[in-house]
């Protein structure tokens, strides 16, 4: 099991009124859009919320999701009638980010993949959930000089939501992966929401790594590559490290992982300069526990982990949403 992180129990406190119904964290319902393998769902279930609908189009992701949550997500959200989605309190979604990523073409909303935000807008209009949490790459805030992002925020405001956003880093949540993402949170009323502070109790990289003796030999690099690396990194380290080779061929040695990516991570990240990450280590670095089942190929799980959210970071935000929802809205 993953050690070193205190996954909080559901919060307790005075309940708030949502749609004139008394709610406790345990009775908040949410939907899981662009669900992937359920990172956001994992985070919200840890704070006591209940998922009532999920949507994901990737077939391998659906297999992993079914194995771990006991249900098959519905498919392509663009083909689902919004009226058929169950009523819910919180909409969540890490909508596709290829359009905004530094490794994509940065086409923004002119790219069809960028239009997935408009699917979110459509559901917010139709179902009017009380709150939402959206996640994307930090580049979303700067593409087109910030125009795309400002347009999105205006749309959310026009839909009647008090909106908060911030770029967060999984490293600040005690997790050994440098993964920066913009998080957007909104409420129908002006609840006193604050993004979580940094955590100073950290999970060490060594807590997430498997013992070399138990790792399949296929993950180890060749002696030839190892000798080439030694020419670039002459220091020795008596603690766990991830070696990161950038496009220029320079190698950084860190006590954390650089951001996992859907396809490239296997090649450019090395554990202690000796081997590549295993599928289990990829999941651990995203914050999934060891009870999370692996039912697809190594390459598929690497892609799924690279496209996932950092669960501890999302959980921290979800906890703060529960705190805000259990406080009276600010009167203006």
Label residue 111 by pLDDT band (50, 70, 90): low
Is 232 in contact with 251 (CB distance < 8 Å)?
yes
Label residue 201 by pLDDT band (50, 70, 90): confident
257-258/29-33 β-pairing: unpaired
Select from 166, 232, 174, 178 the least CA-distant residue to 199.
174
**Average pLDDT over the chain, rounded to an integer:** 87
In this structure, the number of other CB atoms found within 10 A of the CB of residue 255 comes to 14
pLDDT at 105 over 80: no
Question: Given 51, 61, 97, 258, which residue is catalytic?
Answer: 97
Q: Which pLDDT score is estimated for 112?
A: 41
> CA separation (Å) from 246 to 79, 99, 175, 243?
39, 22, 22, 10
* Residue range 54-82, pLDDT digits in tens: 999 999 999 999 999 999 999 999 999 99
Q: Which two tokens stand for residue 306?
A: 């690279």
* Residue range 154-190, pLDDT digits in tens: 999 999 999 999 999 999 999 999 999 999 999 999 9
Residue 97 bears catalytic tag = yes
* Residue range 253-279, pLDDT digits in tens: 999 999 998 876 667 899 999 999 999
Is 320 in contact with 295 (CB distance < 8 Å)?
no
Q: Which pLDDT score is estimated for 230?
A: 85
Listed in order, the ranges of the chain carrying CATH 3.40.50.150 are 16-201+307-325
Tell if the pTM clears 0.75, that is, is over it. Answer: yes
Could you tell me which CATH number the domain at 16-201+307-325 has? 3.40.50.150
Q: Which two tokens stand for residue 245?
A: 């080779």
177-178/251-254 β-pairing: unpaired
Tell me the mean pLDDT in the region 15-43: 75
Q: Which pLDDT score is estimated for 268?
A: 84
């Amino acid at each position: 099991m993953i050690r070193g992180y205190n996954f909080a129990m559901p919060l307790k406190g005075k309940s708030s009124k949502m749609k004139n119904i008394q709610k406790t964290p345990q009775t908040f319902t949410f939907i899981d859009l662009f669900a992937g393998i359920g990172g956001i769902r994992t985070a919200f279930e840890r704070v006591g919320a209940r998922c009532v609908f999920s949507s994901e189009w990737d077939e391998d992701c659906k297999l992993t999701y079914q194995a771990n949550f006991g249900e098959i997500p519905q498919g392509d959200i663009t083909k689902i009638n919004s009226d058929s989605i169950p009523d819910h309190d919180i909409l969540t979604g890490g909508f596709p980010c290829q359009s905004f990523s530094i490794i994509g073409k940065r086409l923004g909303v002119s790219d069809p993949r960028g239009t997935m935000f408009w699917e979110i807008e459509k559901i917010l209009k139709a179902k009017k959930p009380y709150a939402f949490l959206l996640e994307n790459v930090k580049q979303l805030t700067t593409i087109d000089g910030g125009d795309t992002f400002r347009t999105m925020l205006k749309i959310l405001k026009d839909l009647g939501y008090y909106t908060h956003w911030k770029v967060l880093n999984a490293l600040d949540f005690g997790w050994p992966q440098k993964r920066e993402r913009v998080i957007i949170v909104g409420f129908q009323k002006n609840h006193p929401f604050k993004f979580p502070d940094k955590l100073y109790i950290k999970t060490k990289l060594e807590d997430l790594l498997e013992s070399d003796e138990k790792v399949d030999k296929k993950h180890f690099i060749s002696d030839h590559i190892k000798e080439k690396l030694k020419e670039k990194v002459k220091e020795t380290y008596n603690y766990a490290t991830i070696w990161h080779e950038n496009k220029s061929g320079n190698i950084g040695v860190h006590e954390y992982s650089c951001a996992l990516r859907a396809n490239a991570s296997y090649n450019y990240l090395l554990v202690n300069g000796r081997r590549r990450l295993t599928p289990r280590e990829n999941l651990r670095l995203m914050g999934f526990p060891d009870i999370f089942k692996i039912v697809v190929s190594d390459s598929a799980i690497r892609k799924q982990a690279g496209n996932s959210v950092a669960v501890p970071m999302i959980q921290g935000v979800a906890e703060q949403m529960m705190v805000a929802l259990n406080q009276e809205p600010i009167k203006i």
